[in-house]
């Protein structure tokens, strides 16, 4: 067991886990990747983080980070060769405000649009319309700059695009027909990136007897 590397418990299609993997890979730091199933979470993960959500990052000193944005910030504090961390207060505030709206209201509408049948008395289309209000705002930002906050790709882009992807996946033909030209370009650039391909590699579900799979950025 490689005790000197952080261990990430992850689920491939989870947007929170995607943003954690993106930042870990961008940091250039190798890490142990344990792919899990949400319906059958490993005891080892629940011992470390009883709240039972992914991502969970266990550091070599045993500390646990179990909020995706905190995983991103920790990873980028270890190394940020791509310059994703906001480097001034205005950019930081703007990036955090966008991420907060994404993780709060946008995610609320996304869940109720994509998984309407899991909720009582929920009309998916109403939530799709509400989600579109946020996406139209992102599109108008992207009309004036290629990235969500500042002139360079950064934390906000990487923390948010996995959720926009999930919104798209709910009905790809419908999404692609919407007049969101800048958002479509921004999203497809992210989805076609080498970095995204690296974090979406398919892994078998981890079992405790398995040898550690160490992920190193390619
Ligand atoms: N606030 C958490 C949310 C993480 C989250 O909700 N992840 C989902 C998967 S996308 C999860 O693990 N849900 C638990 C479950 O489905 O059992 C974070 O940012 O890390």
Does position 1 have pLDDT exceeding 90, yes or no? no
Q: How far apart, in whole angstroms, are the C-alpha atoms of residue 216 and residue 218? A: 6
Residue 60 neighbours by CB under 8 Å, 6+ apart:
3, 4, 5, 6
Q: Is residue 209 part of a domain?
A: yes
Does position 3 have pLDDT exceeding 70, yes or no? no
State the pLDDT at residue 32: 98
Query: Would you say 113 and 167 are in contact if contact means Cβ atoms under 8 Å apart?
Result: yes
Q: Is residue 2 part of a domain?
A: no
Q: Is the same domain home to 164 and 100?
A: yes
Q: How far apart, in whole angstroms, are the C-alpha atoms of residue 203 and residue 114? A: 25
Query: Would you say 95 and 86 are in contact if contact means Cβ atoms under 8 Å apart?
Result: yes
Q: What is the pTM of this model?
A: 0.97
Residue 71 Cα: closest atom of ligand 1? 20
Q: Tell me, what DSSP letter sits at residue 146? A: S
Q: Is residue 1 part of a domain?
A: no
Q: Give the mean pLDDT of 137-160.
A: 97
Q: Is the same domain home to 179 and 96?
A: yes
Q: Is residue 12 part of a domain?
A: yes
CATH number, domain with residue 158 = 1.20.1050.10
Query: Would you say 112 and 170 are in contact if contact means Cβ atoms under 8 Å apart?
Result: no
Is residue 67 in contact with ligand 1, taking CB distance under 6 Å?
yes
Residue pointed to by tokens 């209201």: 105
Taking the centre of ligand 1 as the mean of its atom positions, its distance from the CA of residue 179, in whole angstroms, is: 30
State the pLDDT at residue 130: 97
Q: 218: pLDDT confidence band, cut at 50, 70 and 90?
A: confident
| The two structure tokens encoding residue 123 | 């009309």
Taking the centre of ligand 1 as the mean of its atom positions, its distance from the CA of residue 11, in whole angstroms, is: 9
Q: Is the same domain home to 39 and 96?
A: no
Does position 92 have pLDDT exceeding 60, yes or no? yes
> Domain range spanning residue 134?
89-193
Closest residue to atom 1 of ligand 1, CA basis: 67
Radius of gyration of the chain (CA): 18
pLDDT in tens, 4-56: 999 999 999 999 999 999 999 999 999 999 999 999 999 999 999 999 999 99
Q: Is the same domain home to 15 and 47?
A: yes
3-state secondary structure of 96: helix
Count of domains for the chain? 2
User: Going along 1-46, which residue ranges are E strands?
Assistant: 7-10, 31-35
């Amino acid at each position: 067991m490689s005790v000197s590397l952080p261990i990430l418990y992850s689920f491939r299609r989870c947007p929170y886990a995607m943003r954690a993997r993106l930042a870990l890979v961008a940091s250039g730091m190798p890490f142990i990747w344990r792919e899990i199933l949400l319906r059958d979470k490993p005891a080892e993960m629940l011992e470390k983080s009883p709240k039972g959500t992914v991502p969970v990052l266990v550091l070599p000193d045993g500390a646990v980070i179990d909020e995706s944005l905190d995983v991103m910030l920790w990873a980028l504090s270890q190394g940020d060769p791509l310059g994703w961390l906001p480097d001034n207060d205005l950019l930081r505030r703007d990036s955090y405000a966008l991420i907060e709206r994404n993780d709060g209201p946008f995610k609320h509408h996304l869940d109720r649009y994509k998984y309407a049948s899991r909720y009582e008395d929920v009309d998916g289309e109403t939530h799709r319309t509400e989600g579109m209000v946020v996406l139209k705002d992102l599109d108008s930002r992207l009309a004036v700059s290629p990235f969500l906050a500042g002139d360079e790709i950064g934390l906000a882009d990487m923390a948010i695009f996995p959720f926009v992807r999930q919104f798209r996946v709910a009905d790809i033909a419908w999404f692609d027909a919407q007049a969101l030209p800048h958002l479509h370009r921004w999203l497809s650039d992210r989805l076609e990136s080498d970095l995204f391909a690296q974090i979406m590699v398919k892994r078998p579900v981890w079992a405790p007897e398995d040898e550690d799979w160490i992920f190193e950025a390619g």
